[in-house]
Structure 1
Amino acid sequence: MMRAHVLHLLLFQIVLTLILPFSAAYHIGVNYGTVANNLPPPHQVVNFIKTKTNINHVKIFDANPDILAAFSGITGISLTVTIPNSDIVSLSKLPNARSWLSNHLLPFLPATSIRYIAVGNEIIATSDKTLIAHLLPTMESLTLALHLANVTGILVSTPHSLGILSGSSEPPSSGTFRRGYVKTIFAPILDFHNRTKSPFMVNPYPYFGFGPETLNYALFNSSDVVVFDPVTKMNYTNMFDAQLDAVYSAMKRVGYGDVDIVVAETGWPSAGEPNQTGVGLEYAEAYNRNLIKHVNSGKGTPLMPNRVFETCIFALFNENLKPSVSEQNFGLFKPDFTSVYDVGIMKN
C-alpha cells in the first residue's frame, strides 16, 4: 500500500506540469438534483438551461449517463460529476478508478464538457473513518487515471460542509480546521490541491447559521457592519463572506492560502415548516439574487479581495422526494420550468 502511494506521488510530479490552472471564467452554476418523481427528461432540462438561462456550469450528484449524453455537443456549459460516497473505498485502487473512468466518463468525452470530478459529498461530516481514510487516495487515483487515459482539463476535488471548521469561527480570522483532522486529513488534501491546481470545494450555507437577529446579515441585506474582526481590522456586512474567510483562515493556517476556493453548494429554501423563521419566497429570492450580484461583482471577500468565486446554487429544481418541506423547496424552478422566483439568471 505504501509503495503504491509513493508511486502515485512520483507520477504526479511527472504529470503535473501538464495540468494548468483554469481561468476563472465560470461564475454562477447550479446543482441539478434529481430526488424527485416529477422532473422533465434530461434533454429538456439541458435545452432549457442552454436556451433560457445564463447558467454556465451544472453540478450533478452522480455520473448519470442520460444527463451526460444530453449535454453532449453543448458549448458554454461545463459539468461537475460526482462519485457516490458508496464508491469511494473501491475507487481508491487505481485499476478500479481506471475502470470507472472508462465506463462512466470516457464514452462522453470530449463532446460533453466535464470540468470537475467531485469525490463524494461532505465526507468529513459523515464521521465514517473508513470513508475519510480513503478520500484522498481516491482523489489521487482518479487524477492518475485521468492522466493515464490522456484526459486533460478535468480536475478532482471533494465538497466539504462548514462542519470542517472548529468552533464558531467568529471572527473569521480565527477559522481553524477541526482538532485531530489538521495534519492527518486537511494538510494532505490541501497539498493535493496545491499540486494538481484543483480547488478546495466548500458548501457555505448562511441559511444554517443565522438567528433572528442576523437574518439580514445572512441575506446580504445589511449595509451595516455586523462583525468586526479585531485581528485583521476587517468589517463584515454579510455572513457568506465571513464563512468563506473563516475557511480561508483555516487553509492559510495550514500553509495553503493560495489554493482556490469553489462554492459547490449554497442556497435558501422558498418554503418550510409552519412558523419556520426566515423561510419563504422573499427570503430565498433575496439570498440568491444578492448572492449572484455579490459573486459577479468581483469584490471578493475582505481577506480575499478582487476574486470571483465559482458558485453553484442549490438547486435547479424543487425535489418532491426530499425528506422535509424545506429540503423540497430549494429549487429555482418548478418541474414545469416556471420560476419559483426571479433571481436574474434568465436570458433577455
Structure 2
Amino acid sequence: MFGFDRINWQGVACALAVALFIGSLVSIPTVYTPGIKPCRTHTNTFDLHGCMRALIVDQHSTAVRSIGVCNGILGNNLPSPADVVKLYQSNGIAAMRIYSPHAATLRALAGTDIAVIVDEPAIDQFLTLSAASDWVQSNIKPYQGVNIRYIAVGNEVSGDATRSILPAMENLTKALSAAGFGKIKVSTAVKMDVLGTSSPPSGGEFSDAAVMAPIAKFLASNGSPLLANVYPYFAYKGGDVDLNFALFQPTTATVADDGRTYSNMFAAMVDAMYSALEKAGAPGVAVVVSESGWPSAGGSGASTDNARRYNQGLIDHVGMGTPKRAGAMEAYIFAMFNENQKDGDETERHYGLFNPDKSPAYPIKF
C-alpha cells in the first residue's frame, strides 16, 4: 500500500550496520545512505545503541503513519480549520478524511504533509465528464499544495443510487487525469452491509455482486483501494459479539477460520471484505479503513474507557495488518471531535478523540 518512497532508509542502514557488527566484532566502516547520517558518533566509533534506538523509533513511526483521523465539521463550537491542522501536526496524525471539499480546511492543509481523503457526497456531480471536469477545476486545482490521496465518490451510498457510483468514478478518473491529477486515486466508501455474508471472514461476499463486482474491477484496474467503514461497535451493539473481542482486549472468544485465528472483531471484518473482493475478481485491491471508532457516551457499551481501549487497540494493531493480509494497513479513526450538531443516535455526537476546546477526550497515544 505504501510505495518505494516510504522505505525506511535509516532503518535499512542501521540494520545493516548492526548485522555487520554482530557478525564480525571488528571495526565497521561507515554505512552511508543518501540523506541519512551514518550510525557513528562524533569520534567515528560505531554507535550500536544509537542504531538500535533508530530502528525502534522508526519502526514505531511507520505504524503511526498508517493512522489517520476523520475530521467532521458538524458542530457549532469547533476549532478553526487552521487550529485543527495544527492539532493534527502536534499529535503526529499524518492523514485526514474530510466529508466534502471544504475550502477553508483545504487551504489550511496546503503546504503540510498531511495526506487527505476528500469526499464528495453528491455523486451526481460526476454523472457526465463535463460536470466531473468542472468539479475538478473548482475543488482540486485550487489546492495543488494539498496532499490529496483519495477522492471518495459517495459515502455509504445505498439503494438505486449505487448504480451511479461506477460511472461517476469513471468520469472523475478521466477528469483528474486530463487535468494533470492522475496520481489521485478515486474510490467510494462502503459500510459493512455491502456484504451479504461476513462470517466467517473467509465467507465474505458482496450482497449485490452486480453492483460491487464492476466497482471492484474498476478499483483493481486503476490501482485504487476500496474504502470501508468498519465498526465493531455496531456488531457488539447488536448483541452477538464479546465485548473484549470487539475492543482488542485479551479474550477466549477467538475465531478460527481457514487456518487463521482472529483475536479481534476488527480484523475479522476487514478480512471478510478482502474475501468479498476476491470473490468479485479483484484479489489485489487493498482495503483502506476509511472510518472506525467507538463512542464514549450515549448508548450501550459507550464509555470513555471503552472508546480509549478500542481506539488505542486500533492504533496498536494497524501496523500489523490482519491474518489474511499481514503488514501495515491504512485506517482512519472516527472522529477528531465530538460534533454536537450530528443527526442520529446520541452516540453519533460522542466519537471524538478531542473536545471542541482541543483537550483530549481521553488519553490516547499515536
* Structure with max Cα Rg: 2
For the criterion TM > 0.5, the same-fold answer is: yes
Matching of residue 97 in structure 1 with residue 132 in structure 2: yes
Pairing 1:48–2:66 present = no
2:181 equivalent in structure 1: 151
Q: Which residue of 2 aligns with 1:339?
A: 360
TM-score between both structures, scaled by the size of structure 2: 0.80
Post-superposition Cα deviations, 1:95-144, rounded to whole Å, max 9, x if no partner, equal 000001101110111x1111111111011xx22x1x21211111111111
Aligned to 1:320: 340
Unaligned runs of 5+ in 2: 7-64
Matches of 2:251 and 2:347, distance apart in 1: 28
Whole-Å separation in 1 of the counterparts to 2:5 and 2:262: 24
In percent, how many aligned pairs have the same letter?
Answer: 39
Q: Which runs of 4+ in 1 moved over 4 A?
A: 20-26
The change in CA–CA distance for 1:21 and 1:279 in structure 2 (over 3 A counts) is closer
Aligned-residue offset at 1:151: 1.5
Query: What residue number does 2:101 align with?
Result: 63
Maintained 8 Å contact 1:225/1:236: no
**Cα RMSD over matched residues?**
1.7
Q: How many residues align?
A: 305
Is structure 2 residue 166 aligned with structure 1 residue 136? yes
Offset, 1:309: 1.4
Distance 1:264 1:24, change over 3 A: farther
Equivalent position amino acid for 1:321 in 2: Q
Structure 1 distance, partners of 2:174, 2:127, is 11
C-alpha change, 1:23 and 1:175, in structure 2 (3 Å) is farther
CA offsets 1:244-270 (integer angstroms, 9 cap, x no match) = 111111111122111111000000001
Q: Distance in 2 between matches of 1:24 and 1:192?
A: 25
Cα–Cα, structure 1 residues 44 and 213, in superposed 2: closer, same or farther, change >3 Å?
closer
Counterpart residue number, 1:219: 247
Report the TM-score, using the length of structure 1 for normalisation.
0.84
Bigger shift: residues 25-34 or 95-104 = 25-34
* Bigger RCO of structures 1 and 2 (CA < 8 A, at least 6 apart): 1
Check the 8 A contact 1:21/1:197 in 2, yes or no: no
Distance 1:198 1:245 in 2: 18
Counterpart Cα distance in 2 of 1:48 and 1:39: 12
Q: State the distance in 2 between where 1:23 and 1:136 align.
A: 30
Aligned equivalent of 2:74, options 35, 53, 60: 35
Matched, 1:80 2:80: no
Equivalent residues in 2 for 1:1-348 (5 A)? 22=3, 26-50=65-89, 52-74=90-112, 76-84=113-121, 87-109=122-144, 111-123=145-157, 126-127=158-159, 129=160, 131-167=161-197, 169-178=198-207, 181-182=208-209, 184-210=210-236, 211=239, 214-224=242-252, 226-229=254-257, 232-273=258-299, 276=300, 278-296=301-319, 298=320, 300-305=321-326, 307-323=327-343, 324-345=345-366
Structure 1: gaps of 5 or more residues: 1-19
Whether the aligned pair in 2 keeps the contact of 1:225 and 1:235 (CA below 8 Å) is: no
